[in-house]
Structure 1
Amino acid sequence: MPRLPGSGVRPRALALLLTLVPGAAAAQGASETIALDEISVAGAGSPGQTSLAPAFGVAAPPGSAPGVIERPVGEIVTAIDRRDTIANRPATTIGQVLVNSPGVTVRQGNGPRDVVVSIRGNNARSTGVTKNMVVLEDGFPLTQPDGASRFDLTDPRAYSRIDVFRGPQSPLFGNYATGGALAFRTRTGREIDGYEVGIDAGSFGYLNHYFTVGGASGPYEVSLFASDFRLDGFQDHAGADTQTVNLLASYTPGPDNRFTLKVINNTLDVDLPARSSLAQYRINPYQRGCAAAATAAAGCTTFNLFRNGAFGATVPVTASEGAFGRNDRRTIVAGRWEHDIDANTTWRMQVGFDERNFDQPFYTTSSRGSYPSYNVLTDLTHRGEVLGLPATGYVALGYNAIDSHIALYNRAPYGGPRLGALTSNQEAVQSNLGGRARAEVALSDRWTGVVGVSAENTWLKGRTFTYAYSASGVTTALADIDRSFLNVAPELALVYRPDEAWAFRGRVATGYATPAASTLFVTPAGVPGNNTDLRTQTNLGVDLGVDWSPLPDLRLSLTGFYEFFRNEFVTQSPGAGLLSYTFNAPASEHRGIEAGAEWAFSPGWRATAAYGLNDQFYTRYVEQLSAGSLTARFDRAGRLIPGVPAHQLLARIGYDQPSGPFKGVGAFVEAVYQDGFFLDNANLLKAPGYTILNANIHYDTDLVGWYAKRLSLYVEVRNLLDTTYIASAQPLANSISAVTGLQNGAGVLATTTGSIFAGAPRSVVGGMKLAF
């Protein structure tokens, strides 16, 4: 095994972790899990929620068939519900909720509610769009057919539970599920049973009004969530204004048929601050005093824009002078029909339309475009016997496509978000057609086996015109793509349950992710052009784990994983103002440990922990760097993959008064720790780690004799110690000297801008909610 410089993951650390297993694992309470699931961080759910959650978005009679992702045997799944994560705290982004799961890394995206999520470090190096996972809401896909997911539209207040699937998941979810999957569940009408109004307000101009209404009547069930989110921001030029509407409705005309409608609409208007270099971050982490380049404070980041918007002389501008921002809209409309063919067989058919329109004038370019997409899925679930053994079988056939149109312009300085000359015009169509099959077989009272497979073909066809400007005129270049990829992903899992307290599980699974059209048209120089040789990313993962519940109120879990990647996608920035580009690393390995615990050790008291260890490195990758007339090659085997922290930990302890005159009063404190990580392939420059402390006080009570039914009050101090930390860091490309051909050192990387967003300083957010 190659030595991993600076890893911090050594046998001593592994041995220490193993000695602490009883205090570092988690499982869902008995009411939320069946014997063979790992549900590692969860609570009792919201008031009025039944102990056995219904299938996704279906107002179905008891005993109706759950979806295949509802209770999958043998998967490594963490369920995060409302307790301590949403219901009694002002969670401003979905990232503050997802860190409750082992193995999840969250980065700040391009906007205050936009976060980039990774599972097991897969995608941790990204700072723009979430990739390498599939995201669903109420069973409908939020990941577009090019593999991109964004979380601007996910207001935490809308959800009752989030399931985090860890490890390769293509046999269950198809393309792009190399890291895992997220399954969001909105609150159903029965859970809400009335209406709620709430408001959160706090530091840096944060204000969120939200409204929820829901109920069930006869065959109908409806829930509607709406919010209005505003923020001034803790950095210069970081305001935000976003509105979200989320509808879930279902109709059950009889015991054998169920219809579900899903509608989401999100509008977003965001001012974006500049990403700084590590050196600038150390001087001016929050980019304050940066209104104008001529009077900018020390450490302010500026970007050079062509004075005429096309070529020649440039002028430096700050984020405010350049009016950097995003103005996006996302609309999703989807429906599903479920039909019980007989008591043991259910057929589903669902269709959806998803369009993302964007206008993003930030940094040295401005992209405008539209990503309309649609998806169709039909599946069949049957419960019966195989060779006399109880079994559940699932088969599915799906098709989805996206028609992308992007125009990229130079930015012109001053006068608002002015556009310069057109630099590229891209049109591409991507479609995916595939099938999946899965069988869960009860081999005995104690053993369950799982076998699954996915096969999918992807077609990519498109072209991009690029334009270069000079005093002599315009030069045009054309890059075409016409490629197809066929991928197959099998899975095997085995679960052993000797008694109610123990469950042992093993899993071998594979995943695949095909290139998206947008990555094929950005060169390593960070400009539009031909990068069409990218290959499919694949991985083979092995998981071994154990769940232990020695007491009704103690849930422990430990999982070890080892994954082998081929042609792993690595995205990095070649420098300030340039587009990030993607390349294939021929071979790499990811290994680690995930653990968690939930312990209600005394009446009213609850402790929760979620820990992840990641050790990821290249095993075969030679990087070629050029400068001027010189070219050099560097063997990166054994180097750690940028962007991936070795250690992550969430630890929380809280108390809720269970009875007496102060019933409903509660508080908790939590610590969120993340280790440092390298910013470059040579492992020369490292972003420092951090520990953030949060404290919360809340009160939740029934109102007797009032028009309202329930009152919730809460206030939270985030980053209690006012720690300065890095919330997002774009990995940087290494370079060589044009004079000597030697690799430039950490000092050059540290002054390369376009990488870092600082995390929020100490902030106080409070709120109230009334249920009627």
Structure 2
Amino acid sequence: MFSCALAHGAEGQDTASVSRTGHSRTKAAPVERRSKIERITVSGTSRVPAPLRPAGQTTFSSDRSDYANQVAQSVADMVVTIPGVSFTQGNGPRDVVVSVRGSGDRQSYGLKNLQVLEDGFPMTQPDGTARADLIDPHAYAGVDVFEGPASTVYGNYAMNGAINFRTRKGADIHGVELGSDFGSFGLFNAYATLGYGNRRYDLMIFGSDVWGKGFIANSRYNTSTENMRLRVNLTDTDRLVLKVVNNQTAAYLPVRLSLNQYLTNPYQQGCYNAASAAAGCASVSLFKNGQYGAKEAVSPEAAGLGRFDRRTIVGLRWEHDFDRRTTWRNQFTYDQRHVDQPTSAISFVGPYNSYAVSSDVTNHVLIGQTPLETFGGISFDYLDYGYQTYNIMPLGGATRGAMTTASYGHQWNLGARFQEDWHFAPKWHVVVGLGGTYSDIGATETLYGYSATATTRQDVTANRFFFNLAPEGALIYTPSKDWTFHTRVGTAYGTPSSSNLFITPQGQYGNNTQIKSQSSVGVDLGADWRPHDTVRIQATGFYEFYNNELVSQSAGVNTVGSYTFNAPASQHRGVVLGVDWRPLPKTLSGARIKLSYTYDNQIYTNYTEVLSNSTLSRAFSRDGNAIPGVIPNFLNARFLYDQPDGPAEGLGAYAEVTWRDSYWLDNANQLKAPGYALLNLEVHYDPPARFGWAHRVHWYFEVQNVANQVYIAGATNISDKLLSNGQQAGASTLMDSTGSIYAGSPRAYFGGVRFRL
């Protein structure tokens, strides 16, 4: 059964959202106050396709009310209140590394080991790459996070689950909204939203342009985003959904620091002239002639390092009801990611074009008096790419020198999935499913070498095929309206990408034929408890067994570089907890406390790492070591108050505390990134309807990092080192390893206004 809200005749299929226990629930009221809106509650069998509401899987959601009353600069503001989700700073102001149960904690950019969707359209390309740059939170109604291994339904790379972003519906907007955010470090975001809808159609168009100077040297940026969603009911049984997303990012980038550099000069001030730079400055070493020979140390700002990327996605979905019990969906998505990234001494340039098609059927029947939902689908996606890398010259403006590599390749995935959800008793239902993917990855890489006497060229070809299966099973028990229990066994897989295939275990260029797909099996046990209308507590414990995780390490002395191989085994275990409590419903009905907490303990159980120096190599067991980059404890607590009536009606505020534990940066567990706790304050005002035209204006003001704490917003893993005596380097040596740390923002002030026409 499900509940859906109908606003201005919008169909229930669009307005149903996903609950945190895998069941549909009534959509939360929009943040903006509305008048004269009729809302009708309808009960019936859900027509929402199975992948958008995976029963039995641990699922948490964030709605617009959690982030629309603040500056909401990036996806981090959308997910900070979701248990099981953490984030770090990537390469650019909106390139947030979102992690579900540690999925992306070892990455320097994007969303890894996850499948990302928007309104049901894929935002992850066939090679497993998704980025958060194209997300401006102002355009979204909410986000749902499906946690745990999920390849049964979501296919390749859903190692830690999936995320579905939901844009706002035109019927909820019902007009035009204009807004702007402004504040510290030159931030200014101008945005507009248009939305209209009725029973026949629903249209949302959003556009924003944001720019800022940044708080670290060489971190100014300008990002524009357009987002459109159109749903048209062609007949009573046929619907079309058109989706368009376009994003252009121009972000200048500092270089990541060592821990010592961060402690000395976290915001990289006084670093423009490398020869006379202040202490703690980072630099890049560039060939003076762009090819070979002498090098010159140049600051990121003088070199012009940055990211200048474009992403365009167009999707079309046709939904057809054969009858009231059976829905057929057919979907096509085109996705182009064009990168221009002089982010280090090398500039990376090229397009990634992908195409995804899928077809699935959802059917509802009764077996006796018990409902059975059957879902089955097939999918195919294809990626072709061609990129080049160039040396950067010390001339400013990221001037390109000689080409160093050129790579052209493809990856395609052919998948099928099947799932049964049977309510075999009034308080019980069981879910079983099976998914599989066949993957083909092929590429050719050309490497160029330069000297005073010759130019060399070497061609390397790699081609691999993978086939993976992912079964799952779940059991849900609802003994009363106050309790829901769920347990699930899920599985997942992730194939290597083409970049993993070009260096062999012998440390030479060639086809890395030994590498396997990574895989996982996870067990969840959770409960949802509502002892009172004012309290909701959700908790899930998880234990996941990973095999063949993809890691890189030295191949030995005098080799061309590190190679990618499979760490045989590791274990991920933890607890996620969410609390939503209105402590004084009679005396302070507008008071609310929201708490989300994640405990994530990940260790290697079978992994031997090889370290090398210029003369020797040694192997070290990492069994029992914590996996670096994984944040073991992450807590967000919000204390909110919104005045529901009286002279101050519409006035609200919150205080927020975010605590992140310290975490290891290296496999040997020698060096940690220190933890931190931040305090943020916010106040907002939505004038009540009795104020006439003023009711259409919303404003807010907030202070972030009230204590002006210096903290690490993002730190990538660093490699352990082998000293000349054959021993591993200690923390004092690793503190000088560069390329890891970005500092977080100092105290910042922001304000904003939104006006509805």
Displacement after TM superposition at 1:45 (Å): 3.8
Displacement after TM superposition at 1:530 (Å): 5.9
What does residue 510 of structure 1 align with?
491
Q: 1:768 aligns with which of 749, 753, 756?
A: 753
TM-score (normalizing by structure 1): 0.91
* Code of the aligned partner of 2:31: S
In 2, Cα distance between equivalents of 1:52 and 1:130: 38
In 2, Cα distance between equivalents of 1:198 and 1:380: 41
Q: 1:381 aligns with which of 355, 362, 377?
A: 362
Displacement after TM superposition at 1:372 (Å): 0.5
2:117 is the alignment partner of 1:136: yes
2:244 is the alignment partner of 1:263: yes
Query: Closer, same or farther in 2 for the Cα pair 1:580/1:193, shift >3 Å?
Result: farther
RMSD of aligned C-alpha atoms? 2.5
Q: 2:744 aligns with which of 759, 763, 770?
A: 759
2:592 is the alignment partner of 1:606: yes
> What does residue range 283-298 of structure 1 map to in structure 2 within 5 Å?
283-298=264-279
Q: More deviation in 707-716 or 371-380?
A: 707-716
2:573 is the alignment partner of 1:591: yes
What does residue 223 of structure 1 align with?
204
In 2, Cα distance between equivalents of 1:40 and 1:220: 23
In 2, Cα distance between equivalents of 1:179 and 1:687: 23
Query: Closer, same or farther in 2 for the Cα pair 1:51/1:507, shift >3 Å?
Result: farther
Q: 2:225, 2:248 within 8 Å by CA — same for their partners in 1?
A: yes
Q: 2:304, 2:397 within 8 Å by CA — same for their partners in 1?
A: yes
Q: 1:548 aligns with which of 505, 529, 532?
A: 529
For residues 535-584 of structure 1, what are the alpha-carbon distances to aligned partners after superposition, in whole Å with 9 as ceiling and x for unaligned?
2110000000111000112100110000000011236999xxx9997542
* Code of the aligned partner of 2:519: T
What does residue 178 of structure 1 align with?
159
Q: 1:619, 1:638 within 8 Å by CA — same for their partners in 2?
A: yes
TM-score (normalizing by structure 2): 0.93
Query: Closer, same or farther in 2 for the Cα pair 1:187/1:232, shift >3 Å?
Result: same
> What does residue range 76-475 of structure 1 map to in structure 2 within 5 Å?
76-83=58-65, 85-217=66-198, 219-386=200-367, 389-475=370-456
In 1, Cα distance between equivalents of 2:506 and 2:76: 32
Q: More deviation in 63-72 or 473-482?
A: 63-72
* Code of the aligned partner of 1:674: R
Query: Closer, same or farther in 2 for the Cα pair 1:192/1:460, shift >3 Å?
Result: same
Q: 1:675 aligns with which of 661, 679, 683?
A: 661
Q: 1:41, 1:598 within 8 Å by CA — same for their partners in 2?
A: no
* Code of the aligned partner of 1:345: T
What does residue 543 of structure 2 align with?
562
* Code of the aligned partner of 2:643: Q
In 1, Cα distance between equivalents of 2:669 and 2:30: 44
In 2, Cα distance between equivalents of 1:339 and 1:502: 36
* Code of the aligned partner of 2:703: V
In 1, Cα distance between equivalents of 2:719 and 2:408: 28
For residues 367-413 of structure 1, what are the alpha-carbon distances to aligned partners after superposition, in whole Å with 9 as ceiling and x for unaligned?
00000001001000000034653111100100001001110111111
Displacement after TM superposition at 1:168 (Å): 0.5
For residues 566-620 of structure 1, what are the alpha-carbon distances to aligned partners after superposition, in whole Å with 9 as ceiling and x for unaligned?
011236999xxx9997542111000001001001222000100000001101111
In 1, Cα distance between equivalents of 2:703 and 2:58: 32
Query: Closer, same or farther in 2 for the Cα pair 1:693/1:41, shift >3 Å?
Result: farther
Displacement after TM superposition at 1:471 (Å): 2.7
Displacement after TM superposition at 1:671 (Å): 0.6
* Code of the aligned partner of 2:472: E
What does residue 621 of structure 1 align with?
607
Q: More deviation in 40-49 or 302-311?
A: 40-49
Displacement after TM superposition at 1:766 (Å): 0.6
SS at match of 1:341: strand
Q: 1:370, 1:406 within 8 Å by CA — same for their partners in 2?
A: yes
What does residue 46 of structure 1 align with?
31
What does residue 8 of structure 1 align with?
none
Query: Closer, same or farther in 2 for the Cα pair 1:409/1:596, shift >3 Å?
Result: same
User: Which 5+ residue runs of structure 2 have no aligned equivalent?
Assistant: 1-15
Q: 1:542, 1:561 within 8 Å by CA — same for their partners in 2?
A: yes
What does residue 678 of structure 2 align with?
692
For residues 429-449 of structure 1, what are the alpha-carbon distances to aligned partners after superposition, in whole Å with 9 as ceiling and x for unaligned?
000001011111001011110
For residues 323-350 of structure 1, what are the alpha-carbon distances to aligned partners after superposition, in whole Å with 9 as ceiling and x for unaligned?
0011100000110000000110000001
Query: Closer, same or farther in 2 for the Cα pair 1:689/1:35, shift >3 Å?
Result: closer
In 2, Cα distance between equivalents of 1:422 and 1:681: 34
Query: Closer, same or farther in 2 for the Cα pair 1:693/1:265, shift >3 Å?
Result: same
In 2, Cα distance between equivalents of 1:260 and 1:290: 50
> What does residue range 575-586 of structure 1 map to in structure 2 within 5 Å?
582-586=564-568
Displacement after TM superposition at 1:177 (Å): 0.4
* Code of the aligned partner of 1:75: Q
Count of paired positions: 731
* Code of the aligned partner of 1:690: Y
Q: 1:744 aligns with which of 709, 729, 732?
A: 729
Q: More deviation in 545-554 or 477-486?
A: 477-486
For residues 41-65 of structure 1, what are the alpha-carbon distances to aligned partners after superposition, in whole Å with 9 as ceiling and x for unaligned?
99644345997999xxxxxx99872
* Code of the aligned partner of 1:649: L
Q: 1:491 aligns with which of 469, 472, 488?
A: 472
Displacement after TM superposition at 1:222 (Å): 0.7
In 2, Cα distance between equivalents of 1:142 and 1:466: 31
What does residue 711 of structure 2 align with?
725
Percent identical residues: 43
In 1, Cα distance between equivalents of 2:657 and 2:507: 38
Displacement after TM superposition at 1:358 (Å): 1.0
What does residue 12 of structure 2 align with?
none
Displacement after TM superposition at 1:171 (Å): 0.9
SS at match of 1:607: strand
For residues 154-181 of structure 1, what are the alpha-carbon distances to aligned partners after superposition, in whole Å with 9 as ceiling and x for unaligned?
0011100100111001112111101111
In 1, Cα distance between equivalents of 2:24 and 2:614: 55
Query: Closer, same or farther in 2 for the Cα pair 1:213/1:40, shift >3 Å?
Result: closer
What does residue 641 of structure 2 align with?
655
In 2, Cα distance between equivalents of 1:341 and 1:719: 55
> What does residue range 510-549 of structure 1 map to in structure 2 within 5 Å?
510-521=491-502, 531=512, 533-549=514-530
In 1, Cα distance between equivalents of 2:507 and 2:101: 27
Q: 1:242, 1:267 within 8 Å by CA — same for their partners in 2?
A: yes
Q: 1:194, 1:213 within 8 Å by CA — same for their partners in 2?
A: yes
Q: 2:539, 2:576 within 8 Å by CA — same for their partners in 1?
A: yes
Q: More deviation in 61-70 or 169-178?
A: 61-70
SS at match of 2:78: helix
Q: 1:32, 1:53 within 8 Å by CA — same for their partners in 2?
A: no
* Code of the aligned partner of 2:48: P
Q: 2:553, 2:609 within 8 Å by CA — same for their partners in 1?
A: no
Q: 1:643, 1:729 within 8 Å by CA — same for their partners in 2?
A: yes
What does residue 632 of structure 1 align with?
618
* Code of the aligned partner of 1:346: T
SS at match of 2:479: coil
In 2, Cα distance between equivalents of 1:281 and 1:467: 35
SS at match of 2:583: strand
What does residue 4 of structure 2 align with?
none
* Code of the aligned partner of 2:261: Q
* Code of the aligned partner of 1:762: R
Query: Closer, same or farther in 2 for the Cα pair 1:406/1:245, shift >3 Å?
Result: same
Q: 1:38, 1:75 within 8 Å by CA — same for their partners in 2?
A: no
Query: Closer, same or farther in 2 for the Cα pair 1:339/1:685, shift >3 Å?
Result: same
In 1, Cα distance between equivalents of 2:697 and 2:561: 48
User: Which 5+ residue runs of structure 1 have no aligned equivalent?
Assistant: 1-30, 55-60
In 1, Cα distance between equivalents of 2:346 and 2:512: 19
Displacement after TM superposition at 1:70 (Å): 3.7
In 2, Cα distance between equivalents of 1:522 and 1:335: 39
